[in-house]
Amino acid sequence: DAGVIQSPRHEVTEMGQEVTLRCKPISGHNSLFWYRQTMMRGLELLIYFNNNVPIDDSGMPEDRFSAKMPNASFSTLKIQPSEPRDSAVYFCASSSQGAYGYTFGSGTRLTVV
Protein backbone atom coordinates (compact mmCIF):
# COMPACT_ATOMS: atom_id res chain seq x y z
CA ASP A 1 0.00 0.00 0.00
CA ALA A 2 1.39 3.39 -0.99
CA GLY A 3 -0.17 5.14 1.98
CA VAL A 4 -1.79 8.56 1.84
CA ILE A 5 -0.39 10.49 -1.10
CA GLN A 6 -0.22 14.27 -1.13
CA SER A 7 0.88 16.60 -3.86
CA PRO A 8 2.74 18.78 -4.30
CA ARG A 9 5.34 18.26 -1.53
CA HIS A 10 6.32 21.91 -1.68
CA GLU A 11 4.48 24.93 -3.05
CA VAL A 12 5.71 28.49 -3.19
CA THR A 13 3.24 31.05 -4.41
CA GLU A 14 2.68 34.77 -4.40
CA MET A 15 0.11 36.43 -2.21
CA GLY A 16 -3.24 36.59 -3.95
CA GLN A 17 -2.74 33.48 -6.05
CA GLU A 18 -4.94 30.41 -5.88
CA VAL A 19 -3.40 27.31 -4.35
CA THR A 20 -4.73 23.76 -4.67
CA LEU A 21 -3.46 20.93 -2.52
CA ARG A 22 -4.27 17.34 -3.42
CA CYS A 23 -4.72 14.14 -1.49
CA LYS A 24 -5.28 10.49 -2.34
CA PRO A 25 -6.38 8.49 0.72
CA ILE A 26 -5.60 4.85 1.37
CA SER A 27 -7.84 2.61 -0.67
CA GLY A 28 -10.72 1.37 1.44
CA HIS A 29 -10.52 4.20 3.95
CA ASN A 30 -13.73 6.19 3.91
CA SER A 31 -12.81 9.03 6.25
CA LEU A 32 -10.47 11.82 5.19
CA PHE A 33 -9.05 14.66 7.25
CA TRP A 34 -7.22 17.88 6.41
CA TYR A 35 -4.89 19.30 9.07
CA ARG A 36 -2.68 22.37 9.12
CA GLN A 37 0.55 22.48 11.14
CA THR A 38 2.33 25.64 12.27
CA MET A 39 4.79 26.30 15.06
CA MET A 40 2.41 28.68 16.78
CA ARG A 41 -0.78 26.62 16.63
CA GLY A 42 0.44 23.06 16.21
CA LEU A 43 -1.77 20.58 14.35
CA GLU A 44 -5.24 21.95 13.66
CA LEU A 45 -8.09 20.02 12.09
CA LEU A 46 -9.54 22.00 9.21
CA ILE A 47 -12.22 19.67 7.85
CA TYR A 48 -13.09 16.02 7.60
CA PHE A 49 -15.20 13.87 5.30
CA ASN A 50 -17.01 10.56 5.76
CA ASN A 51 -17.92 8.74 2.56
CA ASN A 52 -17.04 11.85 0.54
CA VAL A 53 -19.44 14.04 2.54
CA PRO A 54 -18.07 16.94 4.63
CA ILE A 55 -18.95 16.29 8.26
CA ASP A 56 -17.24 19.07 10.17
CA ASP A 57 -15.65 22.13 8.61
CA SER A 58 -15.59 24.24 11.76
CA GLY A 59 -11.80 24.40 11.61
CA MET A 60 -11.69 26.03 8.19
CA PRO A 61 -10.25 29.46 8.98
CA GLU A 62 -12.29 31.56 6.60
CA ASP A 63 -14.09 31.67 3.28
CA ARG A 64 -10.82 31.72 1.39
CA PHE A 65 -10.47 28.02 2.23
CA SER A 66 -12.56 25.34 0.58
CA ALA A 67 -12.29 21.54 0.38
CA LYS A 68 -13.90 18.99 -1.87
CA MET A 69 -13.99 15.24 -2.14
CA PRO A 70 -15.51 14.35 -5.50
CA ASN A 71 -14.87 10.63 -5.05
CA ALA A 72 -13.46 8.13 -2.59
CA SER A 73 -9.94 8.38 -3.93
CA PHE A 74 -9.36 12.11 -4.22
CA SER A 75 -9.70 15.32 -2.23
CA THR A 76 -8.56 18.89 -2.71
CA LEU A 77 -7.99 21.81 -0.38
CA LYS A 78 -8.09 25.16 -2.12
CA ILE A 79 -7.01 28.57 -0.86
CA GLN A 80 -8.15 31.56 -2.89
CA PRO A 81 -6.71 34.13 -2.54
CA SER A 82 -3.68 32.97 -0.59
CA GLU A 83 -2.05 35.14 2.08
CA PRO A 84 1.37 34.94 3.79
CA ARG A 85 -0.29 33.80 7.05
CA ASP A 86 -1.47 30.68 5.23
CA SER A 87 2.13 29.46 5.10
CA ALA A 88 2.19 26.12 6.91
CA VAL A 89 2.46 22.40 6.34
CA TYR A 90 -0.87 20.92 5.30
CA PHE A 91 -1.49 17.26 6.06
CA CYS A 92 -4.09 14.92 4.75
CA ALA A 93 -4.97 11.79 6.73
CA SER A 94 -7.37 8.92 6.20
CA SER A 95 -8.93 6.18 8.29
CA SER A 96 -11.69 3.62 8.26
CA GLN A 97 -14.93 5.25 9.35
CA GLY A 98 -15.23 5.27 13.11
CA ALA A 99 -11.55 4.58 13.61
CA TYR A 100 -9.27 7.11 15.26
CA GLY A 101 -6.00 5.65 14.11
CA TYR A 102 -5.41 8.02 11.22
CA THR A 103 -2.71 7.45 8.63
CA PHE A 104 -1.10 10.73 7.61
CA GLY A 105 0.45 11.71 4.33
CA SER A 106 3.84 13.37 4.10
CA GLY A 107 2.31 16.83 3.88
CA THR A 108 2.52 19.83 1.57
CA ARG A 109 4.74 22.66 2.72
CA LEU A 110 3.09 25.87 1.52
CA THR A 111 4.94 29.17 1.44
CA VAL A 112 3.06 32.30 0.44
CA VAL A 113 5.32 35.25 -0.26
Which residues bind to another protein, rule: CB under 8 A? 4, 31, 39-40, 42-43, 45, 48, 50, 55-56, 91, 93, 95, 97-107
Contact 79, 68 (CB under 8 A): no
What minimum distance in Å lies between the beta carbon of 106 and another protein? 5
Q: Nearest Cα to 94, choosing from 8, 3, 20, 10?
A: 3
CA distance 20 to 27: 22
Using the Cα atoms of residue 42, residue 56, residue 91 and residue 99 in order, give the sign of their dihedral: positive
Q: Which CB sits closer to another protein, 8 or 16?
A: 8
With residue 93 as reference, give the H or E element that holds it: strand 88-95
Q: What does the CA dihedral 30, 23, 87, 82 come to, rounded to 10 degrees?
A: -100
Q: Which CB sits closer to another protein, 81 or 103?
A: 103
What minimum distance in Å lies between the beta carbon of 36 and another protein? 11
Q: Which CB sits closer to another protein, 17 or 38?
A: 38
What minimum distance in Å lies between the beta carbon of 93 and another protein? 7
Q: Which CB sits closer to another protein, 4 or 67?
A: 4
What minimum distance in Å lies between the beta carbon of 69 and another protein? 15
